Structure 1
Amino acid sequence: MPSSPQTIDALLTRSEQIAGLTLAEIAAHLGVQLPANARKEKGWTGQLIELWLGATAGSKPQQDFPHLGVELKTLPIDRNGRPLESTYVCMTPLLNARGETWQSCNVRNKLAQVLWVPILAERAIPIAQRIVGNALLWRPSAAQETILKQDWEELMEAVAFGQIEQLTARHGEALQLRPKAANSQVRTKAIGPNGQIIETLPRGFYLRRSFTESLLRNYF
């Protein structure tokens, strides 16, 4: 397994080495088998890139390269360079929302510095033939952080005041809340409309496609 890069430059060099390669070529370099089950594609792609780049966090609630302060996000795109889906950021705390602040929240921590790795991943392209694009290291501009902070504060205020069931993916300009669970049977505790504890689907913070598309457009 590749060691974790010790500098940002080393991380960027490693990402440049796979630009233009197919997932099959990267898997062959690493001695990793392609998934037989197409439904497992999504998680597998991210894990393959993590392995190549030497990410250390796994599923822990911290950045993928904590010693560099960098989060890794693979971004499936179409042939026009447009993201195919929204991007998961982290889980949403549903019970202790009132104690959270933007300065110390996990969303801000995860998005402080992101290495985006675009992957040409239209559904018609078999997983083996999907191609890795040029990675980009991104830090939110002051304007972008203002939008993210505002979205986060509005969403967390609604969660804190028992409005979790009223929130939909339509809320938020750049950041949205969506169910994040293996299936609809999974339940977690949250604050209800009268301050009582209720059972609901776990939620995650996601970046809208429009946000990541503008980010890519500004860079490339």
Structure 2
Amino acid sequence: MSDLRTLFDAASALAGQSFAELAAAQGMQVPADLRRHKGWVGQLLEAALGASAGSQALQDFPELGVELKTIPLDARGRPLETTFVCTTPLTNVAGVNWEASNVRNKLQCVLWIPIDGRRSVALAERTVGTAFLWQPSEKQETQLKRDWQEHMDRIAMGEVEQITAHQGEVLQLRPKAANSRVLTEAIGPSGQLIQTLPRGFYLKTQFTWQIIRDTFGLDDS
């Protein structure tokens, strides 16, 4: 995409299209469900919009500084699940700071694409919603920075295995792995290296619901 307006117009043009229609245009097959294809919808929309970063630690549109995030909604327009931001460094974290973090990099400008997340609707028949652009307000960035710092401090102190998904006001840390056999190195309680599940940063649903409410002028009903 050559500029932000072109990208936003392309994303807006997807509104109302079914996954079957989008997949056909991209030459992709629609899976029966998402249980074994969790990232499929994101891959479909990345393909439709020409995202270039793939699995790299970059924004999806690095030339524009924009990250693409899909957000499954229920019948009332509320987020159905937390939003994955990026994987979490678990070693060599001394001296890392919020300003240079991948969380901040990924969230500095997000193109959100709401999607129908209702499981009662066949995947092929689910549709794309109205795209919108979002940049964190000063208050939101303060919340994100505070949670990120608390999580990173605990990782540095060797407490990664004591962090639960309940911690953090808007940003949670939790395991991010295909299965329990996928392990990585982390700092242990005595400073030694231990084996643990990879971790990822996720935006909590009450935070993304607030973003949607603010964007579309909705109340909290």
TM bin, normalised by shorter chain, reads: over 0.9
SS at match of 2:56: coil
SS at match of 1:33: coil
Superposed CA deviations along residues 58-89 of structure 1, whole A, max 9, x for unmatched, are 00010000000000001111111100000000
**Aligned residue identity for 1:209:** T
Q: Which moved more, 1:31-40 or 1:85-94?
A: 31-40
After TM superposition, give the deviation of residue 27 of structure 1 in Å. Answer: 1.3
TM-score normalised over the length of structure 1:
0.96
SS at match of 2:94: helix
Identity %: 56
Partner of 1:169 in structure 2?
A: 165
SS at match of 2:186: strand
Partner of 2:20 in structure 1?
A: 24
**Aligned residue identity for 1:48:** L
1:180 aligns with 2:176: yes
**Alpha-carbon distance between aligned partners in 1 of 2:34 and 2:94, rounded to the nearest angstrom:** 41
CA contact (8 A) 1:98 1:157 kept: no
1:157 aligns with 2:141: no
1:6 aligns with 2:35: no
Relative to total residues, which structure has the larger helix share, 1 or 2?
Answer: 1
Partner of 2:187 in structure 1?
A: 191
1:28-177 matches, within 5 Å, as 28-36=24-32, 38-177=34-173
Q: Which moved more, 1:10-19 or 1:34-43?
A: 34-43
TM-score normalised over the length of structure 2:
0.95
Runs of 4+ in 1 over 3 A off after TM superposition: none
**Alpha-carbon distance between aligned partners in 2 of 1:187 and 1:31, rounded to the nearest angstrom:** 35
Q: CA RMSD in A?
A: 1.0
**Alpha-carbon distance between aligned partners in 2 of 1:131 and 1:37, rounded to the nearest angstrom:** 14
Q: Would the alpha carbon gap of residues 156 and 38 (structure 1) be closer, same or farther in structure 2, given more than 3 Å must change?
A: closer
Structure 2 unaligned segments of length 5 or more: list them: 217-221
Count how many residue pairs are aligned between Structure 1 and Structure 2.
216
1:201 aligns with 2:197: yes
SS at match of 2:13: helix
**Alpha-carbon distance between aligned partners in 1 of 2:207 and 2:155, rounded to the nearest angstrom:** 23
**Alpha-carbon distance between aligned partners in 2 of 1:57 and 1:125, rounded to the nearest angstrom:** 31
Structure 1 unaligned segments of length 5 or more: list them: none
